[in-house]
Amino acid sequence: MSPWISVAGYGMATFVAADRVIKDRHHWYDAVTGAALGFGLTELTWWLSDQLFPARKNNIAFGTSGTTLNVIVAL
């Protein structure tokens, strides 16, 4: 995955948080708390994903058949 995806995501989140604080829609500590929760839960999700689905070759596959999308997860 490209690091620019993270840069764009964090950049937009920072812009929205700053905009909400500047327009008096949130207090600064609301924005900081939301950022901390979002970051922490994202890291927790990645960690749990690594624990539940250890890195191995081709453990998730996608395919189509007609008008359906098929997802196969090897546990």
For every residue of the chain, which 3-state class applies, written as one string? CCHHHHHHHHHHHHHHHHHHHHCCCCCHHHHHHHHHHHHHHHHHHHHHHHHHCCCCCCCEEEEEECCEEEEEECC
Domain boundaries, the chain: 3-73
CB–CB of 57/63 below 8 Å?
A: no
- pLDDT of the residue at 15: 96
- pLDDT of the residue at 62: 81
21-69 pLDDT, tens per residue? 999 999 999 999 999 999 999 999 988 988 887 776 667 778 888 788 8
Do you know the residue count of the chain?
A: 75
- pLDDT of the residue at 69: 86
Looking at the whole model, is its pTM more than 0.75? no
